[in-house]
Homo-oligomer: A and B are copies of this chain.
């Protein structure tokens, strides 16, 4: 049924440290099943009970949030291999706060949250690895969001840029590194205007704080 997508599923962080055989056993013991959603249909609908955890197998989708006045905004996009819904399932809330809409026809692997976190009798060891993986996924997202928050709380453009670059440097453990964004993407990530950001970056270069060329940055001093 979803056997042909086993590669995608196994490469998901949810199945880290599990062999193909273990994963197969787990999937069947969790009653995981794939479902096909036509273009523009809703994979999850805001207000519904969080049903479970999804893995995108084929197609593209987007996560949409509606504010109290009805304005829609796209929070994130999903493609093959992405996990979604795990936060809402694990948070045990009553209603999903977002809608997941299929941009193209999508095949999705759906797993029941209860089954994911409840060890069955035979597979306890593997199940416990699955749970460990889930904890890791949530915790890492947490650290990422904490870092981003820290950056965004800075008052000035310069401080935002600086914190972002320091973060990258810490991640790579080097004062010289490439960043994974172009200017516009970086500006969006930092909540800044592109030209204002560029202007400030150039000032920082003049001031001898940093050096950069295209995507390559260096922290000086």
Query: Interface of A with B (CB < 8 Å)?
Result: 65, 67-69, 75, 86-93, 97, 117-119, 124, 128, 131-132, 134-136, 138-143, 145-146, 148-150, 152-155, 163, 166, 169-170, 188, 191-193, 219
> What are the residues of chain B within 8 A of A68 when measuring CB–CB?
166, 169-170, 219
Closest to A162 in B: B67
Chain B residue with Cβ nearest A163: B67
A90 lies within 8 A of B191 (CB)? no
For chain A, what secondary structure do more than half of its interface residues adopt (helix, strand, loop), or is it mixed?
Answer: helix
Q: Judge whether B152 and A153 touch: CB under 8 Å.
A: yes
Number of chain copies forming the complex: 2
18 other A-B residue contacts (CB within 8 Å) besides A90-B135, A118-B128 = A65-B150, A67-B163, A68-B170, A89-B139, A91-B139, A117-B132, A119-B124, A138-B139, A142-B145, A145-B146, A149-B149, A149-B152, A152-B152, A152-B153, A153-B191, A154-B191, A155-B192, A155-B193
Known contacts A117-B128, A152-B149, A138 near B170 by CB under 8 Å: no
